[in-house]
């Protein structure tokens, strides 16, 4: 984001938004060394032989996330699901970037991604490269890859998490829809939670069933975003990548006009919820801070849209009443959203106080991911080969 854009954004916020924004000042992560691995070459720059243009495909993960076999299965799953994209768009270059982090230093990340690439048999028409760096944090990986590839001229970025199960035609439908829309904005897959096996995950299933808004926006588990939206990287103030994309597009939307994003129902993928209650609560807390910070950082028009169309939809009179599924369900939604608003106000007040006192919060913990749980089953997962036995 340019300084001129930042100034214009600040000029379109309320006094309360500015005050809350001052209450959160995260430390900027150091620009550590980034190592690129491609065809056996290990370098700190962009290696020769990488295609220019087309789409970049980012699959972020980290060493301690799971074992090498599970990571190989996740990578192969994405490569397998890109086959229909190659068939439908044969002239479109596709470059897959495996982002690998390690909290124990970049040496372990380099070792893991080099080993992973060495065991992959890359299908024709695809290019696969790895990026290794120290630390942990999906946004750090995303920004590192965006910096490394800035000169490659990608049209867009396809982001896929390492724990989703993509329908066989999911990515092809997503890419085709992206170009049908002119290759702008963002298109997300319809993400469906798999059957939950823990009490906390089942509770979240029930809550989500009652609170899903009518206005969906793309989630970073599987989304395709135009390169210009993320060209400057994701601000370190942002706590979620999809939240950043959403608010960037809300800010760009013309007055009274729709924002340039879509959840495409014909592109489907599955995911597993975090299993343990403690991990779930920490994630919810981080999500709450993400809501508050984004609504404080962006113009009041974007914040109002998000509050009334998504975050608090159904909480009349703050937002429209939701009677789509009857009065009883509308009341349940109202009660859940009322509790959420109370929590929201507590976070707003705490950051506003910190802003007044000049003692901003410096970080918000992700907590742990809990046990690695993937939506892949025995028919789609495998090490070095796809469901059809290819390798």
Q: Note the pLDDT of residue 195.
A: 63
What mean pLDDT is reported for the chain?
Answer: 87
For residue 303, the model assigns a pLDDT of: 95
Is the pLDDT assigned to residue 153 strictly greater than 80? yes
CA distance 36 to 203: 42
Counting Cβ atoms within 10 Å, is residue 345 exposed (0-12), middle (13-18) or buried (19+)?
Answer: exposed
Return the pLDDT at 5: 56
List, for residues 281-310, the tens digit of each pLDDT value: 888 899 999 999 999 999 999 999 999 999
The residue among 361, 370, 350 whose CA lies nearest residue 281 is: 370
Categorize the per-residue pLDDT at 388 as very low, low, confident or very high, splitting at 50, 70 and 90.
very low
Query: Quick one: pLDDT band at residue 366, thresholds 50, 70, 90?
Result: confident
Query: Residue 105 is encoded by which pair of tokens?
Result: 């230093």
Taking the alpha carbons at both ends of the chain, their separation in whole angstroms is: 42
Question: Contact, 309 vs 213, CB < 8 A?
Answer: yes
Instruction: Give residue-wise pLDDT tens across range 68-104.
Output: 888 999 999 999 999 999 999 999 999 999 999 998 8
Per-residue pLDDT reduced to its tens digit, 334-353: 999 999 999 999 999 999 99
Place of tokens 């000169």: 151
Residue closest to 290 by CA, chosen among 361, 222, 230, 224: 361
pTM value surpassing 0.85: yes
CB-side neighbour CA atoms (13 Å) of 201: 15
What band does 389 get if pLDDT is binned at 50, 70 and 90?
very low
Q: Is a pLDDT exceeding 90 seen at residue 50?
A: yes
Structure-model confidence comparison of residues 308 and 385, the more confident one: 308
CA-to-CA dists, residue 352 to 17, 64, 237, 292, angstroms: 9, 36, 16, 11
**Least confident among 9-18, 59-68, 194-203:** 194-203
Inter-CA distances, 299 with 167, 200, 249, 293, 364, Å = 37, 35, 12, 12, 23
């Amino acid at each position: 984001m340019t300084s001129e854009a930042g100034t214009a954004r600040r000029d379109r916020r309320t006094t309360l938004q500015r005050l809350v924004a001052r209450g959160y000042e995260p430390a900027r992560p150091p620009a550590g060394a980034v190592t690129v691995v491609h065809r056996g070459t290990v370098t700190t720059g962009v290696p020769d032989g990488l295609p220019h243009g087309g789409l970049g495909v980012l699959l972020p993960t980290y060493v301690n996330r799971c074992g090498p076999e599970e990571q190989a299965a996740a990578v192969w799953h994405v490569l397998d699901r890109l086959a229909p994209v190659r068939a439908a768009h044969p002239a479109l270059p596709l470059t897959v970037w495996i982002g690998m982090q390690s909290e124990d230093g970049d040496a372990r990340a380099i070792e893991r991604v080099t080993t992973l690439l060495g065991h992959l048999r890359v299908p024709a028409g695809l290019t696969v490269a790895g990026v290794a760096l120290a630390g942990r944090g999906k946004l750090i990986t995303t920004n590192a890859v965006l910096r490394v590839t800035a000169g490659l001229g990608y049209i867009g970025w396809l982001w896929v998490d390492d724990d989703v199960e993509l329908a066989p035609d999911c990515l092809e439908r997503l890419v085709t829809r992206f170009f049908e829309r002119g290759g702008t904005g963002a298109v997300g897959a319809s993400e469906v939670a798999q059957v939950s096996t823990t009490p906390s995950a089942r509770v979240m299933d029930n809550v989500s069933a009652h609170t899903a808004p009518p206005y969906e926006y793309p989630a970073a588990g599987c989304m395709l975003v135009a390169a210009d939206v993320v060209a400057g990287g994701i601000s370190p103030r942002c706590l979620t990548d999809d939240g950043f994309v959403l608010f960037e597009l809300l800010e760009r939307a013309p007055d009274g006009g729709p924002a340039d994003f879509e959840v495409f129902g014909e592109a489907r993928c599955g995911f597993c919820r975090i299993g343990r209650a403690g991990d779930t609560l920490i994630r919810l807390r981080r999500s709450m801070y993400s809501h508050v910070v984004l609504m404080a950082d962006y113009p009041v028009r974007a914040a109002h849209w998000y509050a009334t169309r998504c975050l608090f939809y159904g909480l009349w009179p703050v937002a429209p009443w939701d009677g789509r599924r009857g009065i009883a369900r509308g009341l349940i939604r109202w009660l859940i959203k009322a509790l959420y608003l109370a929590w929201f106000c507590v976070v707003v007040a705490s950051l506003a106080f910190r802003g007044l006192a000049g003692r901003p919060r410096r970080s918000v913990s992700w907590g742990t991911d809990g046990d690695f749980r993937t939506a892949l089953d025995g028919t789609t997962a495998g090490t070095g080969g796809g469901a059809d036995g290819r390798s």
